[in-house]
Each structure stands twice: as C-alpha cells, then as structure tokens.
Amino acid sequence: MPRVLSIAGTDPTGGAGQAADLKSIAAMGGYGMNVITAVVAQNTKGVIDIHTPPVRVLRAQLEAVSSDVTLDAVKVGMLGSVEVIEAVRDWLAEVKPPVTVLDPVMVATAGGRLLRAEAQTALLSLLPFADLITPNLPELAVLAGAAPAGTWTEALRQGQDVAERFGTRVLVKGGHLPGARTPDALLEPGRDEPVIVFDDPRVATSNTHGTGCSLSCAIATVVARTGDWVGAVSTARSWLRGALEHADGLHVGRGNGPVHHFHHAQHVLVDTDSHGRFTDALWRDCEGVRGEIDTLDFVAQLGNGTLPSETFQWYLDQDRQYLAVYSRALAALAAAAPSESARAFFAHGAAEVVTVESALHRTRLHGAPPQPASEVTKTYSDFLLAATGSETFAVGAAAVLPCYWLYAAVGGALTEKARAAGLEPHPYGDWLATYNAPGFHLATERAKDIVDRAAATADPVTRRRMREVFMRGCELELRFFAEPVRRAGARPFAVASTHRVC
Ligand SMILES: Nc1ncnc2c1ncn2[C@@H]1O[C@H](COP(=O)(O)OP(=O)(O)O)[C@@H](O)[C@H]1O
Ligand SMILES: Cc1ncc(COP(=O)(O)O)c(N)n1
C-alpha cells in the first residue's frame, strides 16, 4: 500500500485541502498522512480566515514524518506564504520523495485567496521539484506569466510553456473553461503534443469544492503504486467523475459543496450488519414476516389443495385488481429507470402482468364482475402507486420487490410440498405453476439485482427508506395473503355470495 503524504491546508467542512487529500488517498488504496501548512477557516461558501502556524512547527512536522516513515509519494497543496514555500522546498530537496505532485493552490473554488500575492514568485522556485503540477486555468496563467487562457488551445500553449520552462509534467485542467465539456491534457517537457488528452461532458453540479485537491492526490497515490502517469491520470479522473456525479447526494453546506470521495465503495457500507448484498439484508429483515406467511391457513390450504374454491376465487378477484395497479407501478418504474436494462425489465414486467398473469384470472374468474376492493387491496395499491410515483427510483424498486420475491418463494415452496405429497393433479396447479415458472424466478433475480445496484449508489437515507418500503411491502403481502381466509371466517354470507360465481 503506497504511503502518501499530503502537505496542505485545512478545511473544517471536509471537502478540500487535507480532508479531501486523505479521503482521496484512501479511496485510491493508499495510506494517507498529513502535514499542515495553514489552518483555514473556510466552508463551501468561501474563506473566512487563515492562521499560519510558525514555520518551525511546519519543519518539525515534516521532520517527524520523514524521519520515521518511508514515503512513496508526496502531494503538495496550499502553501500560503513565502516562508512556508521555502521550508517545503528545502525539505523536498533533502528528502527527494520518489513521486511529488504539486497542486499550485492560489484561490479557493468558492472564492478567497489561499496564496499571498507576494508568494507567487516564490512558488515558481518549487516547480522543478515536482514530477507533475496540476494548475487550474487561473493558476496556469500565473505560472506562465500570462492572462488566463480563454480557449483550450491557449491553455495548452501555456501548459507547454510551463512544462518546458520548469522541466516538469503539467496536467492542464479545463474545468474553468466555459462550455459543456471538461478537457484535461497531460503534457511533458520535450514533447510538442500532449501525452494524452481526456475530454468528457461536464457533470451538471455546482458541488465541485476540492476537485483539484482530490484529483492531484489521487494521481499521486496511483502513480506511487503503478509508476504509470497516463494510467494514473486516467484512473483518478474517472474516479473523480463518479465523485462529481454523486456529489449532490451528500448535502454538505449551502455553497459549492464537496464531491463524494467514496461513491465507489458504498456497496460495502450498505449496512453495518451486512457484508453481502443489500437484498440479503432485506431478506433477513423480513424473516419474521416470511415465517408468518408460511403458517397462514390460506397458504397451507393453497399448498395442500384444501382451500375452499370460493375463498380462492375471492382472492383471485382481489389479486386481479391489485395486479392492474401493480402493472401501472412497474410502468412508472420503467419511466424513471436510470439504465436501459432496468427500463426494459420494468416495461416488460408491466406488460407481462397484464397478459400472462391475467390469463390465469380470465380462465379462473370466467369474466365475473369485480367484487369491491378490500381495505388491504386498497392500502397496498395506494402504497405502490405512491412509492413508484413520488419517491426515487431506488425506493420504488424496493417497494415492488416483495411481490416478486415472496410470490416466487411461496410458489417454489408450495410446489415442492405438493410434489412431495404426490398431489397430482393439484386443484391450484395453474397458480403454483405461474409463480414457480423459471421465467418468474429469473424476473425475481433481475428485480433483486436492480435493487442491489440502486442501493450501491444510494445515500444512507435513501437506503434506509428502501428498507422501510420493502418491509412495508412484505407486511402488506402478509395481510393480502391472510385476508381471504380471515374474511371468509368473519363473513360467512359473503362467502356464500361469492360461491355463486364459481
Ligand atoms: N463539473 C465538472 N464535471 C466534470 N469534471 C469536472 C467538473 N468540474 C471540474 N472537473 C474536473 O475536476 C478536475 C479539477 O477541476 P478544475 O476546476 O479545473 O481545478 P480546480 O479544482 O483546481 O480549480 C479536472 O479534472 C476537471 O476536468
Ligand atoms: C486548504 C485548501 N486547499 C485547497 C483548496 C482549493 O480547493 P479546490 O480544489 O476546490 O480548488 C481549498 N479550498 N482549501
């Protein structure tokens, strides 16, 4: 594991400087350490105050770490003053770390100087010690002694000039250019053309606090491990892109918020009690409800074929009404799905419910008019429409999962029992076959997979909500299964009236 030292300033909101560096090092698989150059009172809206500790304290920190730990890479960020620059330069000259990445921090994204004006010249003396420098466009202009580049071509020209003059690699970053794209180019001294140019669409977010810190530290960490600059920039960039894409979910601060450094590792953090899939945890959560479903008279009698046919008819009629709503819920998920495969899955499911499952109802119910929907049917229907219509896709997908999963489980278990008991032909064999069909089990696995994927990138609040709606769905399934027998027991006359339908 590369041991990476960040020499930088602080950010109490955790998005830039030291905090961003340590998170980025860890995210890229390194061991992070930090020497503090300046204590910065800042937040996502700007810089409020800066305290620079005495330079002897900085020297002592540098000495403390390098006299004890072998350093595989160093990232230098905010320096702030001439004295700090000189102390760091002397230390770099003495220690000669195998990899040094310098982010020439001058101004915070949210505004506020982080380098005194008189220190800009001193900073130039540090550049030859760096293997890579990562200036943004205004910083590049200062290093090049020119006005900020207004075009990408101009930025590349300035970058090449700086690379030649100081004999170091330069990552020219186009984040500050206007427009829909964010190109970056890696330049090397002695080469007229960039070693590599990256060009991606801009991520639509204003939460970009600490992107420069994070990128430079991530590159230093990957290079320390691989020695490959092009690969390291590429890896760090695509990781940072994910961090930007998930930044809005963090809800940190009211200004330019930070990026999500551990977006790629959410799946391992899904729940403290689960080291497996998110849906594994859901299945454990609903163990009690599943036990109750298994012992319901309705389910036992459905399995052994003793369920009175009028009770089954009433159940099927409620189910027909429920499935009409379920189909709409799946269609809503198809419309909200974040990927083509999820869209196709739910769109297909919405159609399948109408055609395949309702065939069972048509043959069994012989076109009988619907009975009034029970309270359970209404509650379950309202719940599904609300979860899939007005909550996020992830929450909606978790809400429809019990209907797949519990039916597949009940269909599978009852078919096994019926086979073991030699019940052939089974009075409800067509129902069992529908929910024990390989296609239905496959659909259940796909639905679980979609929920797992959604959970992997969801924030903790959304995942908690996903668990809540999944459990609510399971409880409503239990009540839905219980209702036909409960109602038949409570209202013998209603049973008699439905009897006529058969
Ligand atoms: N909205 C965005 N979408 C995609 N990439 C971005 C976005 N904003 C910044 N970046 C990338 O983040 C990195 C640092 O950005 P930049 O704003 O240029 O530097 P700094 O944070 O030092 O001011 C660059 O790789 C840049 O391309
Ligand atoms: C201590 C410190 N160092 C650097 C930055 C620059 O942040 P950005 O990466 O957004 O330019 C910052 N705001 N604070």
* Cα-Cα end-to-end distance for the chain: 72
Bridge-based pairing state of the strands 169-173 and 132-133: parallel
How far is 492 from 480, CA to CA, in rounded Å?
Answer: 19
Phi then psi for 464, rounded to 5 degrees? -65, -40
Closest ligand 1 atom to 203 CA: 3
Give the per-residue SS3 of 189-201: CCCCCCCEEEEEE
The residue from 14, 17, 30, 210 that is catalytic is 210
At residue 60, φ and ψ (nearest 5 deg) are -65, -40
Contact status, residue 246 vs residue 53, Cβ threshold 8 Å? no
| Phi and psi torsions of 323, nearest 5° | -65, -30
Residue 322 vs residues 83, 394, 459: alpha-carbon distances, Å: 73, 22, 31
- What is the structure's pLDDT at 406? 96
Residue 212 annotated among the catalytic residues of the structure = yes
The token pair that represents 396 in the structure block? 């909606």
Residue nearest to ligand 1 atom 11, measured at CA: 175
Q: How far apart are CA 341 and CA 390, in angstroms?
A: 22
Residues 6+ apart with CB under 8 A from 294: 410, 413
Q: What are the average pLDDT values for consecutive 10-residue runs of the chain, which has 502 residues?
A: 97 97 96 98 94 97 98 97 97 98 87 83 95 96 93 96 97 91 95 93 94 97 95 94 90 93 73 68 92 93 92 92 95 96 96 80 79 96 97 97 96 88 85 88 94 90 93 96 88 35 24
Pocket test for ligand 1, best of 78, 170, 182, 213 (most atoms within 8 A of CB): 182
Ligand 2 near 349 CB (within 6 A): no
Q: Reply yes or no on whether 295 is catalytic.
A: no
417 counts as catalytic: no
Q: What tokens does 296 get?
A: 């319901």
The DSSP-derived string for 193-229 is S-SEEEEEEPPS-S--BTHHHHHHHHHHHHHHHH--H
User: Residue whose CA is closest, atom 10 of ligand 2?
Assistant: 210
Output the CA 15–ligand 2 centroid distance in Å.
8
Q: In this structure, what token pair is assigned to residue 4? A: 């990476």
pLDDT confidence of residue 418: 86
What structural domains and CATH numbers belong to the chain?
3-269 (3.40.1190.20), 278-499 (1.20.910.10)
Among candidates 485, 433, 482, which has minimal Cα distance to 308?
Answer: 485
Torsion (CA) 295, 297, 302, 307 in degrees, nearest 10:
170
Nearest CA to ligand 2 atom 2: 17
Catalytic residue among 213, 217, 403, 474: 213
CA of 173, closest atom in ligand 1? 18
Instruction: Work out the angle between the directed axes of helices 287-294 and 278-285 (0-180°, nearest 10).
Output: 50
- If one residue of 173, 184, 263 were mutated to test the ligand 1 pocket, choosing by the most ligand atoms within 8 A of its CB, it would be 173
Count other Cβ atoms within 10 Å, centred on residue 495. Answer: 18
Question: What's CA 239's distance to the chain center, in Å?
Answer: 12
Structure tokens at 442: 């496959």
Residue 457 CB–ligand 1 contact under 6 Å: no
Is 474 a residue of the active site?
Answer: no
Q: List residues bridging with 8 in a β-sheet.
A: 36
Confidence (pLDDT) at 272 = 43
Q: Are 242 and 264 in contact (CB under 8 A)?
A: yes
Q: Is 175 in the pocket of ligand 1 (CB under 6 A)?
A: yes
Report the pLDDT value the prediction gives residue 273, as an integer from 0 to 100.
44
Q: Minimum-distance ligand to the CA of 175?
A: 1
> What integer pLDDT is reported at residue 502 of this predicted model?
22
Q: Are 485 and 297 in contact (CB under 8 A)?
A: yes
Q: Report the atom number in ligand 2 closest to the C-alpha of 208.
A: 10
The SS3 of residue 365 is: helix
In whole angstroms, how far apart are CA 312 and each of 321, 407, 476?
A: 14, 16, 18
Those residues with Cβ within 8 angstroms of residue 348's Cβ, 6 or more apart along the chain or in another chain = none
Sheet of strand 169-173, all strands in order from the earlier edge strand to the far edge: 46-51, 31-43, 3-9, 73-76, 100-102, 132-133, 169-173, 181-187, 196-201
51 contacts 12 by C-beta, under 8 angstroms: no
